[in-house]
Structure 1
Amino acid sequence: MFILKRQDVDIKTMHHPQKDQQIPILSYQGQTFRLLSVFNADQEDDARALWRDLTDNRGKACVLLEEPDRYSIWGKIRLEKFDHDAGGDTGTPPAAAPFIKACLLMLQVLYMDVEDLLGGKQARQFEDDIAKVFAAWKFPQATASEALKNLLTVDPLAMPQLPPWQDHHLQRLLEEMHRMGKDYFGNADFAARALEAVEDMTTAEQSQFRRWLQQSPSGKIWT
């Protein structure tokens, strides 16, 4: 939609309607945008690729903001609707497809390891535990029993449509997967094997995901 410089826009903060935190809001020509993703200065190609994917392929109204030390992507919102939105996610598009695919691959490897190493009873308990996570944090297309089974067993690289999870869903999933892995196995040795699962993706997608993981608040526990 727009590629802008810092001097072109006004950025302020407002209180999130459902969370005890301040969030940045960008204003440009009477329109408002919410921060979706941030990239380092040396990640221009990644930032532009995500911006093009959101605008060209998903039809989202987004701003790519160019600053000397970073690039950021902002999604259009309506403030009056945002103020009354229970989830606080109005106008926020799904996370980048490689991030969703990678998190699903990690989840599936964790599930398979529980089943292979700890047995069917523990695998069923794992299904119940992850179902509670999906329900508690309102993951789209993840609460029905058939949908849950597909998420745990169907190769995400072959899924006709990925679940429309947003960045905050992936952050929560990373946290909960790591917590559950430690609960089931008693240590963090599972993490390396789970991360190996992303090697099924293309080299470009792997690089994009690993950079995102290193910068993500919940990704640090995996690296």
Structure 2
Amino acid sequence: MFILKRQDVEISSIQHPKKDQQVPILNYQGQTFRLITVFKASQEEEARALWRDLTDNRGKACVLLEEPDRFSVWGKVRLDQIEQDTGGHNKNGTYIQGSLLLLQAVYLDIDELLGTRQAGLFEKDIADLLQKEQFPEINSLEAVNHLVTTNPLDLAKLPPWQEKHLIILLQELHKLGKTYFGNANFAHQLTDTLQDMPEPERSLFMTWLNQSSLSTLWQ
């Protein structure tokens, strides 16, 4: 829809009605846009690709904002939509959900493309990793099976993992994925993998991912 510079727009924030966080808001010519995700300055190609996908393929009204040190993508909203927004998890819960969606997507791809036996081996590899790194509440293969076969958005209780656990999980998941598939193409389907997340949570997770040490792995 629009490619804009910082001087073209007004950026502010409003308090989320249900969470202890501020929601970034971009105003342009009387229209309101909400932050979807942020990219580093070196990720211009990825930022433009996401913006084009959202506008051309999904019919969304979006802004690509070019700044000297970063690019960001914003989606059009009404302020009353934000005021009615009722998310169920805090920031860390959203990071856990997003990480589990990536884990589950890799597992399902292995099962579909490589077969049930390979999916079982992958499940065991994940169980060994999580137990070796002493992830809370992971003490059996059954616990891992529950995580890879149950939609994280439907889990009544998320595992009590911290950010350090998620960094380890996604680093090792990327290594395992490359081992099973022979390349890292599986890691470049982030938008499709996270499409079931509500947009505010998806935006929050992708921003965290892009600003972390994982940004070069999952794009």
Q: Using structure 2 for the length normalisation, give the TM-score.
A: 0.58
Deviation at residue 120 of structure 1 after TM alignment: 1.3
* Gapped regions of structure 2 (runs ≥ 5): 1-11, 23-89
Give the aligned partner of residue 133 of structure 2.
137
Alpha-carbon displacement from aligned partner over 1:108-133 (angstroms, at most 9, x marks no partner) = 11001101100111111101110111
Runs of 4+ off more than 4 Å: 42-46, 48-52
Query: Is residue 148 of structure 2 the alignment partner of residue 163 of structure 1?
Result: no
Query: Is residue 189 of structure 2 the alignment partner of residue 196 of structure 1?
Result: no
Residues 107, 194 of structure 1: 8 Å contact kept: no
* Gapped regions of structure 1 (runs ≥ 5): 1-41, 53-93
Deviation at residue 222 of structure 1 after TM alignment: 0.9
**Please, what is the CA RMSD of the aligned residues?**
2.6
Give the aligned partner of residue 62 of structure 1.
none
CA distance in 2, matches of 1:125, 1:50: 41
Residues 103, 148 of structure 2: 8 Å contact kept: yes
Aligned residues: 141
Query: Is residue 181 of structure 2 the alignment partner of residue 181 of structure 1?
Result: no
CA distance in 2, matches of 1:153, 1:212: 25
Give the aligned residue type for 1:189.
Answer: N
Give the aligned partner of residue 210 of structure 1.
206
Deviation at residue 195 of structure 1 after TM alignment: 4.8
Give the aligned partner of residue 72 of structure 1.
none
Give the aligned partner of residue 112 of structure 2.
116
Residues 95, 164 of structure 1: 8 Å contact kept: no
Query: Is residue 103 of structure 2 the alignment partner of residue 125 of structure 1?
Result: no
Secondary structure of the residue aligned to 1:160 is: coil
Secondary structure of the residue aligned to 1:218 is: coil
Residues 142, 148 of structure 1: 8 Å contact kept: yes
Secondary structure of the residue aligned to 2:160 is: coil
Aligned pairs for 1:1-223 (under 5 A) are 49=19, 96-193=92-189, 195-223=191-219
Secondary structure of the residue aligned to 1:222 is: coil
Deviation at residue 179 of structure 1 after TM alignment: 0.5
Deviation at residue 95 of structure 1 after TM alignment: 6.3
Deviation at residue 45 of structure 1 after TM alignment: 6.1
CA distance 1:45–1:135, shift in 2 (3 Å):
farther
CA distance in 1, matches of 2:191, 2:162: 20
Give the aligned residue type for 2:182.
Answer: G
Give the aligned residue type for 1:191.
Answer: A
Residues 140, 164 of structure 1: 8 Å contact kept: yes
Give the aligned partner of residue 19 of structure 1.
none
Task: Report which stretch shifted further, 194-203 or 178-187.
Answer: 194-203
* Identity across the alignment (%): 39
Give the aligned residue type for 1:123.
Answer: A
